[in-house]
Amino acid sequence: MRCAQPVDSIAALAPPEQLRPWLLLETSLTQKLGQTVGTQPGLIVLGEGLEQGNAWESEALGTNDRIYARHISLTIQNNPVVLARSVTTQGAGMDALTSLHTRPLAELLFEDSSWQRGNAIQYLRLADQIPGRSCYWHHQQLDAGLIVQEFFLPNMAAVARI
């Protein structure tokens, strides 16, 4: 997921039609996925730790230092349907992410009103043409920025019945 490349628009991303509403979603992806399939998605932490961010992540977070990244998979009946990468700077943002353990990030972002989502969605594409998006979040009191990237795996439509 570290190799995701920004794409200018949803048209340039050219996702399958059934993924468009998911790419435009402004509420919790985890919650929406659970409502759609009738059960809470599983969450697998694939890895987390300090790493060198890519250029656009570092620019958005305003740092040249190593960033903290958390990689997870959301699953339906043990089938991965979404990959996600959350990145933040070292310090308060990193503390917020490390405290999640196996809880969804949505529990932090949508339940703590101090986290504010930016208006812009950046569309992304992985090297194997997997469509995704990213949103920037900011916590005023902590002065912490966070980029949440979500990628929709090819089997999502079939497994999630969208």
Our CA dihedral for 150, 64, 117, 73, rounded to 10 degrees, sits at 20
The arithmetic mean of pLDDT across residues 65-79, rounded, is 94
**Domains (range + CATH), the chain:** 5-160 (3.40.1410.10)
Hey, what's the torsion of the CAs at 151, 153, 159, 160, to 10 degrees?
Answer: 20
Q: Which residue has the tokens 């990628």?
A: 151
Could you write out the DSSP letters of every residue in 26-38?
Answer: -S-HHHHHHHHHT
Query: Could you read off the pLDDT of 2-52 as tens digits, one per residue?
Result: 889 999 999 999 999 999 999 999 889 999 999 999 999 999 999 999 999
Question: For position 8, what pLDDT does the model report?
Answer: 93
- On whether the pTM is more than 0.75, the answer is yes
The kind and range of the H/E element at 113 are none
